[in-house]
Amino acid sequence: MSKLPIVLLVHGMGTHPLDNMTKDFKAGLNEAAKGFGVNDFNIDEHMEIVEFNYSESLDKIRKKLAEQSQDIIAQFDMLPGAGTAVEIVKKLLEFQSNLDKDEEIYTHWLDVLLYGATFYGEPIRIELAKKINNIQKRAAGRDIHIVAHSLGTAVVHDTLNKLYRDEATSEDDIPDLIPGIDNIKCLWTFANVNRLVHILNGIAPNGSSVVRSGPNGCTDYLYNIYHELDPFTMILRYEPTIENGKNFVNHVVRNINTHNFTEYVADPEVSQYMLLQMTNLQEPKSMANFEAYKQKHREGEINGLYDKMKVEFKEIHNLEIDSVEDLFVLIQEFVKKVKELTNVL
């Protein structure tokens, strides 16, 4: 029987073809392993990677909502001499009737709304809970890691918070796992947006969450990673006090998209901990190897971009997020800034 750890990946917002996140994760960790001096690194020899893909569920929901609106709009064509009132209603329904289109506004930003502000979040959490429970069932002593990015951090947080219950007992009909007993080994959250999404869904108010490390939480270790210039982590930043684990801050800009998952994983300090927690490799333990990789990683930095971004994103940093509308303003502002900077480069 395999003793390799099981690594469950949970993607961020947008449409994600199956295995897309696995490729990004492997790319980041491969670069890091090579940087630490492991030249023949084959990730599949060190861990079993599985993915939870909820973008397909969100696509289906968007399609269903779009079809329903399209049906109503089609019925309006039956109205004789349709007047202004009908035209107004049709306009209102057009937004929903376009939800099945592959435009970024629908595939990215609406995901946040659909997951956070509607009950459609619950069946997604149930599917993830099934996956986690099944992994627990077959793990039999193998370590379990959960790696989540962006919106996936909220999906994972909310699921774990509902699945791991202090009141857990096999006497009732509530599916649950026991904090401290059924703990996963490590939870890795990249660009954590829990606090933003919790404005919408109200899960775990006042930080009353079981998603923490140690015997009273659901994970033995919690590693939380954000980039100083990732706009999604600038507002309502998630930076908890961690009992076992660490908050990592990335400052290096090698890619204008500071929200990029591969870049997050390839960070020397993060990947050092990942390789040590997930594999038996000895090379990342060496301080000399760490310094060498850190140096090499920095060589990829885009000259002057860090300073430019810091200035450009200052406004975003000062935005106050109190509502869904504020959240969309933030997202639009970020996209605008990235486009401006891309043109400058």
Partner 1 sequence: MYYKIMGCNMTKKLSTFFFSLLLVSSLASAGDDNNISFTCAEINSAKQFDSSFTELRDLAIKTNKKLCFSKLNPEGEQLNLIKDIILEYSNSANALIRSDFEGDKFDFIDKQFNIYNGDIEKFYSRVPSEKIMYKMEADGALTTEFYFTLPNESRSEVSNTLDSSCAKINSDTGLYKDCKEALSDAACAFNAYSYSYDMFRYEKNAKQLNLLGKQWDNYIQEARAQTLLDVMFTTWMHNDYYSDSKLVAPASTQYFILKPQVVYENVFDAENGDRSKIGLGVEWIGINWWDLKVPFGVSVISIYSDYQSLPSVGHGLLFTFDNKYSLGFTRRGSETGAVVTIDLLKFMQNKKEKLEQYKSSF
Write the binding mask 278 to 307 for partner 1: x where contact by CB under 8 A, - elsewhere: --x-x--x----------------------
Task: Output the CA–CA distances (angstroms, integers) from residue 105 to 20, 176, 217, 314, 326, in the order listed.
Answer: 20, 36, 36, 24, 15
DSSP type of residue 241: -
In this structure, are strands 219-227 and 144-149 parallel, antiparallel, or unpaired?
unpaired
- Tell me whether residue 93 or residue 253 sits nearer to partner 1 (CB atom): 93
Collapsing DSSP to helix, strand or coil, 168 comes out as coil
Return d(Cα 261, Cα 284) in angstroms, integer: 21
Site size toward partner 1, by CB under 8 A = 78
Q: Which of residues 186-245 bind partner 1 (CB under 8 A)?
A: 201-205, 214-216, 220-221
- Give least dist CB 262 to partner 1, A: 21
44 binds partner 1 (CB under 8 A): no
State the Cα–Cα distance between residues 152 and 154, nearest whole angstrom: 5
Q: Is 79 in the site for partner 1 (CB under 8 A)?
A: yes
Nearest Cα residue to 325 out of 101, 149, 112: 112
Q: Where in 111-150 is the site for partner 1 (CB under 8 A)?
A: 117-123, 125-127, 129-130, 133-134, 136-137, 140-141, 143
Instruction: Please say which residue, 205 or 303, places its beta carbon nearer to partner 1.
Output: 205
- The interface region with partner 1, picked from 6-14, 232-240, 277-285, 312-320 by CB under 8 A, is 277-285
**Structural element, H or E, at residue 223:** strand 219-227
Q: Is 27 in the site for partner 1 (CB under 8 A)?
A: no
Residue in this structure with the two tokens 């401006």, named with its chain if needed:
340
Token pair of 242 as six digits: 């961690």
Dihedral sign for Cα 141, 54, 16, 337, please.
Answer: negative
- Shortest distance in whole angstroms from residue 202 CB to partner 1: 4
Name which position in 15, 153, 161, 279 contacts partner 1 (CB under 8 A): 161
Question: Do 141 and 185 contact (CB within 8 A), yes or no?
Answer: no
Report residue 314 as tokens: 């200052």
Binding of residue 170 to partner 1 (CB under 8 A): yes
Which residues, 6 or more positions from 340, have their beta carbon under 8 angstroms from its beta carbon?
312
Provide the phi-psi class of 14: left if phi over 0, else alpha when psi is between -120 and 50, else beta. Answer: left
Q: How far apart are CA 67 and CA 98, in angstroms?
A: 9
- CB 276 → partner 1: shortest distance, Å? 4
181 binds partner 1 (CB under 8 A): yes
Closer residue to partner 1 (CB): 120 or 334: 120
Contacts of 328 (CB under 8 A, 6+ apart): 109
Q: By the 8 A CB rule, do 152 and 10 touch?
A: yes
Which of 96/247 has CB closer to partner 1?
Answer: 96
Of the candidate spans 10-18, 44-52, 160-168, 227-235, the one that interacts with partner 1 by CB under 8 A turns out to be: 160-168
Interface residues for partner 1 in 50-69 (CB under 8 A)? 61, 64-65, 68-69
For the bound state, the minimum distance from the C-beta of residue 274 to partner 1, rounded and expressed in Å, comes to 9
Instruction: Write each residue from 89 to 108 as x if it is in contact with partner 1 (CB under 8 A), else as -, in one continuous string.
Output: x--xx-xx--x---------
Nearest distance from residue 144's CB to partner 1, in Å? 12
Least distance from C-beta 163 to partner 1, angstroms? 7
Q: Check binding of 326 to partner 1 (CB under 8 A).
A: no
For partner 1, the closer of residues 67 and 228 by Cβ is 67
Q: Are 192 and 153 in contact (CB under 8 A)?
A: yes
